[in-house]
Structure 1
Amino acid sequence: MGTSCSSLQDIGSNEYLKRLCSNEILSENDPFWNALLGFSLVDLDLVVMSSSNSKLLEDAVNSLCKNLSINNAKTGNFHTQVNYFVRRLHELIRYESTDDDENINPFTWQVLNALFIIRNICKYFIQNLSEEVIIQQFQKPGSTGASVDTSITSFIAAMTTGLTKLPIHESTILLHLEIVNTLLTILGMVMYGTDMATNNVFYIEIMEGQSEEAVSAIMQFILAAYAYQDQLPAFVYREDTSASLSSTLWSVMTLGMVRGAHTDTMKVNLALQSALLLLTLTNHPYTGNPYAKVLSSFLDDENKPLVKPESLYASLCKDLHNEHATLLLYKLLHENQVMRAFVLSRTDMEKLAEPLLMVLYQQDDQTSSNHIYLTLITLLMLTEDDGFNKDLFQTRLRAVKWYKEKHLTDVTLGDMFILVAIKVMQYNMSHSKDKYLHTNCLAMLANMSSKFENVHPYACQRLLAFYSALAKRHDKTRERLQLSQLVATNEEERPSPSAHLLTDLQEIQEMIRMVSEVINSCITHTVHTNSHLVHVMLCHRMEFEKLRELEPFKHILQNVHQLLEQFHKKLEDQFGDQPRSVAQVMEVIENGLKTFRRGSFLKFPDLKFKYVEETDSSQFFVPYVWQIVCRKSNLYFKQSKFH
Structure 2
Amino acid sequence: MGSNSSRIGDLPGNEHLKKFSGTESLSENDPFWNQLLSFSFPAPTSSADLKLLEEATVSVRRSLVENNPRTGNLGALIKVFLSRTKELKVSAECQNHIFIWQTHNALFIICYLLKVFICEMSEEELLLHFTYEEKSPGSYSSDSEDLLEELVCCLMQLITDIPLLDITYEISVEAVSTMVAFLSCQLFHKEVLRQSISHKYLMQGRCLPYTSKLVKTLLYNFIRQEKPPPPGAHVFSQQSDGGGLLYGLASGVATGLWTVFTLGGVGSKAAAAPALSSPLANQSLLLLLVLANLTDAADAPNPYRQAIMSFKNTQDNSPFPSSIPHAFQINFNSLYTALCEQQTSDQATLLLYTLLHQNSNIRTYMLARTDMENLVLPILEILYHVEERNSHHVYMALIILLILTEDDGFNRSIHEVAQDLNVIEEVIRMMLEIINSCLTNSLHHNPNLVYALLYKRDLFEQFRTHPSFQDIMQNIDLVITFFSSRLLQAGAELSVERVLEIIKQGVVALPKDRLKKFPELKFKYVEEEQPEEFFIPYVWSLVYNSAVGLRWNPQDIQLFTVDSD
Measured against the shorter chain, the TM-score band is 0.7 to 0.9
Q: 1:209 to 1:538 in 2, by over 3 A?
A: closer
Structure 1 position 394 matched with structure 2 position 325: no
Please give the TM-score of this superposition, normalised by the length of structure 1: 0.67
In structure 2, what is the equivalent of residue 271 of structure 1? 281
Residue 197 (structure 2) aligned to one of 188, 196, 201: 201
Q: 1:322 to 1:243 in 2, by over 3 A?
A: farther
Q: How many Å separate the matches in 1 of 2:16 and 2:169? A: 27
Q: How many Å separate the matches in 1 of 2:176 and 2:448? A: 46
Conserved? CA contact 1:226–1:272, under 8 Å: yes
Conserved? CA contact 1:51–1:255, under 8 Å: no
SS in 2 for 1:196: coil
In structure 2, what is the equivalent of residue 7 of structure 1? 7
Per-residue CA deviation, residues 447-494 of structure 1 (Å, 9 max, x unaligned), is xxxxxxxxxxxxxxxxxxxx7xx79x95xxxxxxxxxxxxxxxxxxxx
In structure 2, what is the equivalent of residue 434 of structure 1? none
Q: How many Å separate the matches in 2 of 1:371 and 1:507? A: 30
User: AA paired with 2:282?
Assistant: L
Q: 1:292 to 1:37 in 2, by over 3 A?
A: same
Where does 1:208-223 land on structure 2 (aligned, <5 Å)?
Answer: 208-210=204-206, 213-223=209-219
Conserved? CA contact 1:180–1:273, under 8 Å: yes
User: AA paired with 2:381?
Assistant: M
What RMSD over aligned residues (CA atoms) do the two structures have, in Å? 4.3
Q: How many Å separate the matches in 2 of 1:601 and 1:544? A: 26
In structure 2, what is the equivalent of residue 289 of structure 1? 302
Conserved? CA contact 1:516–1:557, under 8 Å: no
Q: How many Å separate the matches in 1 of 2:74 and 2:292? A: 30
Conserved? CA contact 2:119–2:185, under 8 Å: yes
Question: Where does the alignment leave 5 or more consecutive residues of structure 2 unmatched?
Answer: 136-140, 239-250, 321-326, 497-525, 559-565
Q: 1:272 to 1:555 in 2, by over 3 A?
A: same
In structure 2, what is the equivalent of residue 22 of structure 1? 22
Q: Once the 2 structures are TM-superposed, how far is the Cα of residue 194 of structure 1 from its aligned partner?
A: 5.4
Where does 1:182-581 land on structure 2 (aligned, <5 Å)?
Answer: 182-193=178-189, 195-210=191-206, 213-230=209-226, 236-240=233-237, 250=259, 252-254=261-263, 268-287=278-297, 288-299=301-312, 306-364=329-387, 367-395=389-417, 411-412=419-420, 416-417=423-424, 419-423=426-430, 426=433, 438=434, 442=435, 504=441, 506=443, 513=450, 516-517=453-454, 520-522=457-459, 533=464, 547=478, 554-556=482-484
Residue 116 (structure 1) aligned to one of 108, 130, 148: 108
Q: How many Å separate the matches in 2 of 1:77 and 1:115? A: 14
Q: How many Å separate the matches in 2 of 1:20 and 1:129? A: 20
Q: Once the 2 structures are TM-superposed, how far is the Cα of residue 373 of structure 1 from its aligned partner?
A: 1.5
Structure 1 position 104 matched with structure 2 position 32: no
Q: How many Å separate the matches in 1 of 2:468 and 2:228? A: 54
User: AA paired with 1:204?
Assistant: K
In structure 1, what is the equivalent of residue 542 of structure 2? 628
Per-residue CA deviation, residues 271-311 of structure 1 (Å, 9 max, x unaligned), is 00000000010101023111110111114998585321111
Q: How many Å separate the matches in 1 of 2:89 and 2:477? A: 77
Conserved? CA contact 2:104–2:174, under 8 Å: yes
Question: Number of matched residues?
Answer: 493
User: AA paired with 2:109?
Assistant: I
Q: How many Å separate the matches in 1 of 2:91 and 2:352? A: 38
Q: 1:267 to 1:338 in 2, by over 3 A?
A: same
Q: Which moved more, 1:274-283 or 1:294-303?
A: 294-303
Q: Once the 2 structures are TM-superposed, how far is the Cα of residue 232 of structure 1 from its aligned partner?
A: 7.8
Q: How many Å separate the matches in 2 of 1:224 and 1:158? A: 20
Q: How many Å separate the matches in 1 of 2:81 and 2:91? A: 15
Q: 1:231 to 1:182 in 2, by over 3 A?
A: closer
Conserved? CA contact 1:256–1:633, under 8 Å: no
Question: Where does the alignment leave 5 or more consecutive residues of structure 1 unmatched?
Answer: 397-410, 427-437, 443-466, 475-503, 562-599, 606-611
Conserved? CA contact 1:11–1:60, under 8 Å: yes
Q: Once the 2 structures are TM-superposed, how far is the Cα of residue 412 of structure 1 from its aligned partner?
A: 3.9
In structure 2, what is the equivalent of residue 496 of structure 1? none
Specify the structure having the higher radius of gyration (Cα): 1
Q: Once the 2 structures are TM-superposed, how far is the Cα of residue 212 of structure 1 from its aligned partner?
A: 5.3
SS in 2 for 1:615: coil
Conserved? CA contact 1:226–1:274, under 8 Å: yes
Per-residue CA deviation, residues 209-234 of structure 1 (Å, 9 max, x unaligned), is 34654111111110110112258866
Q: Once the 2 structures are TM-superposed, how far is the Cα of residue 18 of structure 1 from its aligned partner?
A: 1.2
User: AA paired with 1:15?
Assistant: E
Structure 1 position 78 matched with structure 2 position 85: no
User: AA paired with 1:21?
Assistant: S
Q: Which moved more, 1:104-113 or 1:307-316?
A: 104-113
SS in 2 for 1:252: coil
Q: Which moved more, 1:512-521 or 1:135-144?
A: 512-521
Structure 1 position 614 matched with structure 2 position 528: yes
Q: How many Å separate the matches in 1 of 2:459 and 2:366? A: 26
Q: 1:24 to 1:356 in 2, by over 3 A?
A: same
Q: How many Å separate the matches in 1 of 2:371 and 2:230? A: 30
Per-residue CA deviation, residues 325-370 of structure 1 (Å, 9 max, x unaligned), is 1111111001101111111112221221112112122122x74222
Residue 137 (structure 1) aligned to one of 121, 124, 129: 129
Q: Once the 2 structures are TM-superposed, how far is the Cα of residue 6 of structure 1 from its aligned partner?
A: 4.9
Q: Once the 2 structures are TM-superposed, how far is the Cα of residue 81 of structure 1 from its aligned partner?
A: 0.3
